[in-house]
Amino acid sequence: MGWHCRGFDAVARGPAKRRLRARVRRAVALGLPAVVVSLVLSSRVTAQDPATQGADSEPSSVSTSEADYETLRGLLGLSSRAGQRAEPIAAPEAAPPVATSPAEVETPKPEAAPASAKPAVSAPASSGKPYTPPSKPRPRPIAPRPEPTVVEQPAPVPAAPPVPGVEIPPDGTIVSAGNMDRWKHLLGPSIQWAVAHGATLAVIDPQPAPYEPTRQRATERYSAQVKLAPDKRSMENYVAGIPFPTVTTDDPDVAIKVVFNFEARTAVDDLDLRKSSCDTCQLTDDGVRVEKHYLSDHLRRLFYVGRLHQPPMPTWQTQEGFRYREMVAGLLEPFDLRGAGYTYARYLDPNRQDDSWVYYPSSRRVRRLSTAQRSEGVFGTDIDLDSFAGYAGNPAWATWEYLGTKTVLASLHARSIPVRFLPAPADFFPDDVWEPRDVHIIVGTPRFGGSSFSRRVLYIDKESLLIPYAEIYDRHGGLWKGLVFTWRLGKKATPTATRAVYDEEMAYHANFSIFDMQLNHATRCESPGHEEVNEEGWYYNFGAAEGTDESVFSIAGVIGAAH
């Protein structure tokens, strides 16, 4: 397939270099050359477009040729570009023609506010073995992990007819290293790596994963008027809902349109994720060795476009032209980062870079981040700012190529609350259920120089438009990091919630894990953390009633939260 080893001198010397070569030989013997070897990529400097670069940016040093895309298609088990045929994307019926300007379109009527209190639904106890917190002491006492509960699930729908020539595992199958050869056509390279290192996937029949009726109505009302801007890096006439619900795979702009669909799918009026926790871990044959435990007080986001629940709607007009603002404030752990936080503003103008700021209370300084620095790990974790929910970067920051469609195993109906991890040595990986899903596979190459990676591969579920997992390739083109999300759809994120309860089924990711396949390192996260036994987790569309207003996104707001 045109693989070769490169870059050893850049990452290791002497004995470390020999150990790395030995790891490569073991990986090749396992049939997983993508772990630490590189795609044959042509590296060339591309001309910088002044209109698309910030003052702190430099030209991209990596571009991707059609031969590179064909190599990726082969790695992912996809047919070549020449052999692909047009295929409609699952979507609601096209809306009737409407006005071509948002100002001329009737705005949706306000929806009922979320219920303030509803009785909690009890859930049967899981028979699975609960995850045991690591024995390494933490800065403060940790509540014991409660016995995981299994959230009630809707009755499974019959499995979709398999694609000709694609074998689908029946309900109850456990995919493991012992039978991976039979099922690896349903696994991306990073998931194959995890399974080869001890992860198991419990398979269930596929279940429906629609988006909310309110979002569906907005899609039907506004989508017909939306079109790409001439530069194909932004949209014109977008108001709310999914912008391109009927795009087909023969559309030359299918890649960027599906990315915009994903971005719109994950938009809400506002959110407040409370008490999420993460562990940074070294991966060993005996299981993870926890290095640091992280606990954040709040992760908040406020959207200004596509609002469907709280006034002003559907658009909150601002002089700055905000798309949305995000902040994390008041880290509670680890001790040396207590009070740290960040805030950034995303703009509608594709030529304007984010205004991103990080605050470190130990030095009492605020540091501004460039677009390239957003690709680095946050606060010493493996997670970069653009990896939340699968992809949180600006679609305008990358060139996008549609590689094709594929049936994969993914976790979109997670059952374990709180999150449960697999036994060692795969205790960096979530222990939950997986189902066959049809996904779009799209690769994004950064437009800006200085990025920590060369490309990002997104697996976007065709029905829900969520990302169950993604993969990041290093600057030499080698497979570097895998990101896995266990999504849930429901009217509340936790079984005992009484305040964060909704009239429609919302999407939450109970867990996400990001694992570095070159350094055997991982960051595993829970939303909310298991130690916060009474925390309801995800607060959507409450606005100022739950503290998400414009003031908290200022630098002063982040510093104030630290105190």
Tell me which of 48-62, 65-79, 433-447 is least confident. Answer: 48-62
Residue 265 forms part of a structural domain: no
Quick one: 80 exposed, middle or buried, by C-beta within 10 A (0-12, 13-18, 19+)?
exposed
Tell me which of 75-84, 367-376, 514-523 is least confident. Answer: 75-84
Cα torsion through 393, 396, 400, 402, rounded to 10: 90
pLDDT computed for residue 460 by the predictor: 98
For 414-450, what is each residue's pLDDT tens digit? 998 889 999 999 999 999 999 999 999 999 999 988 8
Is 278 within 8 Å of 523 (Cβ atoms)? Answer: yes
Residue 524 forms part of a structural domain: no
Distance CA 505, CA 413 (A): 12
- The whole domain housing 32 covers 8-77
Residue 301 forms part of a structural domain: no
Task: Count up the domains in the chain and report the number.
Answer: 1
> Sorting pLDDT into bands at 50, 70 and 90, what band is 164?
low
pLDDT computed for residue 81 by the predictor: 66
Distance CA 488, CA 495 (A): 12
User: What's the mean pLDDT in 281-287?
Assistant: 96
- pLDDT above 60 (res 457): yes
pLDDT computed for residue 560 by the predictor: 83
Residue 223 forms part of a structural domain: no
Distance CA 451, CA 458 (A): 17
Using DSSP's 3-state secondary structure scheme, residue 382 falls into: coil
Residue 62 forms part of a structural domain: yes
H/E element, 437? strand 433-446
Residue 40 forms part of a structural domain: yes
Using DSSP's 3-state secondary structure scheme, residue 331 falls into: strand
Residue 224 forms part of a structural domain: no
Residue 68 forms part of a structural domain: yes
For 180-213, what is each residue's pLDDT tens digit? 999 999 999 999 999 999 999 999 999 999 999 9
- pLDDT above 80 (res 138): no
Strands 270-274 and 287-303: antiparallel
- pLDDT above 80 (res 1): no
Distance CA 257, CA 259 (A): 5
